[in-house]
Amino acid sequence: HGKPQIKINGKVYDEHPEYTNVSSTVLNLSDRSLHLKPAHPVGILRKQIEDKLNSTSNSFQLYNNFRPVVTVEENFDSLGFPQDHPGRSKSDTYYVNDKHLFRTHTSAHEVECFGNIQEFCPKVTSKTPTEKPGFLITADVYRRDEIDRTHYPVFHQMEGARVWRRSAEKCADGQEPLHIQKMRHDLAKLEKQLREESGNLVVQDDVSLEGNPKQSYMSDLEVDLCSQHLKRSIELLVAQVFNKKLESMGCKKSEAEFQVRWIKAYFPWTTPSWEIEVFWQGEWLELCGCGVVREQLLLNAGYDKDSTIGWAFGLGLDRIAMLLFEIPDIRLFWTQDERFHSQFREGQITKFKPYSKYPGTTRDVAFWLPQTQEASTLSPIHENDIMEIVREEAGDMVESVKLIDQFTHPKTNKKSFCYRINYQSMDRNLTNNEINEIQENVRRELVQKYNVSLR
Ligand code: PHE
């Protein structure tokens, strides 16, 4: 009776007729907390980065237990996402109802965590105050996306942030303001550590701020010091992770240079903003978005105007963990198979040894879209909806789904699509019968949910 409801991690939410689109796949994955498992690749990597970033001056409060359902306000509004930002769409995001969703990034917790920094946030009496001027948040994040060996509806991010309180007064006897001295001191310490530990790191950094504006409440010097501290912090963590890998591959640090580059970026709640890429096995790999935090975000967290400057970054952990541990398919992170888990040890980066490669089987599904949406109350189909149906029916028995053909009939204008589904399990052989059954279910769901005509 009453409204339909969903229970997630012990909390009950009302469903919403238009918004609710969480799948049972996602619900089932939402209490796994892989990042907390000390001998899981994602957990090992998380710990390593936390230790490294806190090794300089132990400035980061750790948050690793935030629940995955947050408000639209926390995930988008508080960060300044415009109303029409594509990230908000139901085709990209899992909504619980019109006000709650599965966080799409760890930035959803920035305002709360900035608000916990007591010294900087005098007006707010946080229930969980911290003395530290920075924080690291690691959590599972959720996005509706394609299906292949590197995409999974749940992955992991680490958010990092650091602030400095500005000292308004000019110092006597020609000295620089206290916070500038402090920032210079913090930066110098970081640079020294970076030189000592990562002499083999080659950095391409175009420091020009053209098209990447600074905020007017900050001086050029403040922007420069804050940006440098941000970049050196990320370089330190990237160097640590990749040097560990190079070492485990038998390379001597002094001989193995590796390259990173900084690229201008855009995020609604930071400016200037960047992304860092690392050159690894012949490719530039995007690792992390970051920037100088917009003052509006700090004001949202309860800070006084003009009082504080700071930076933030968001780092994707799964791709890095796949590369470090040489894991060929992201689904392996989620397997319960002991042959996977028994291979990893707390604190160690080791190469994954595939226990077996089970053969895959492909099946195609081709269909006409309903001619017009007019007579239908069903929503138009998005590619991610097809992915979702396959995930729901096949679970981790699907390796990838690819659009292999698409055309429009010249006379009727009807659109046809053909998707190729590769069924393959990481843990066992699949029988033809079970694949046929899944395939039939996928076909039936496509018709029932989206009124397509199968071909
Ligand atoms: N949340 C952003 C993402 O998921 C990354 C980011 C974090 C960018 C913090 C800037 C500051 O892409």
Please report, for the chain, the start and end positions of each structural domain, with discontinuous segments joined by +.
18-341, 361-454
**ipTM over cut 0.85:** yes
Tell whether ligand 1 has an atom less than 6 A from the beta carbon of residue 272.
no
Give the ligand 1 atom nearest the CA of 293: 11
Tell whether ligand 1 has an atom less than 6 A from the beta carbon of residue 104.
no
**How far is the CA of 188 from the CAs of 12, 177, 194, 228, 240, in angstroms?**
50, 17, 10, 10, 18
Q: What is the mean pLDDT of residues 287-308?
A: 96
pLDDT digits (tens, 9 = 90+) for 194-232: 999 998 999 999 888 899 999 999 999 999 999 999 999
Q: What is the mean pLDDT of residues 295-322?
A: 96
Average of per-residue pLDDT values in the chain = 94
pLDDT digits (tens, 9 = 90+) for 325-362: 999 999 999 999 999 999 999 999 999 999 998 999 99
Residue whose CA is at the smallest distance from ligand 1 atom 6: 314
Question: How many angstroms is it from 62 CA to the middle of ligand 1?
Answer: 18
CA distance 289 to 293: 12
* pTM as predicted: 0.96
Q: Where are the beta strands (DSSP E) in 369-444?
A: 398-408, 415-423
Q: Is pLDDT at 375 greater than 50 in this prediction? A: no
pLDDT digits (tens, 9 = 90+) for 56-88: 999 999 999 999 999 999 999 999 999 999 999
The CB-side HSE value for 261 (13 A sphere, CA atoms) comes to 9
Q: For a ligand 1 pocket test, name from 105, 227, 311 the mutation site with the most ligand atoms within 8 angstroms of its C-beta.
A: 105
Packing angle, helices 318-325 and 220-248, rounded to 10: 30
Q: Is pLDDT at 378 greater than 60 in this prediction? A: no
For domain 18-341, which architecture applies?
Answer: 2-Layer Sandwich (3.30)
Tell whether ligand 1 has an atom less than 6 A from the beta carbon of residue 290.
yes
For domain 361-454, which architecture applies?
Answer: 2-Layer Sandwich (3.30)
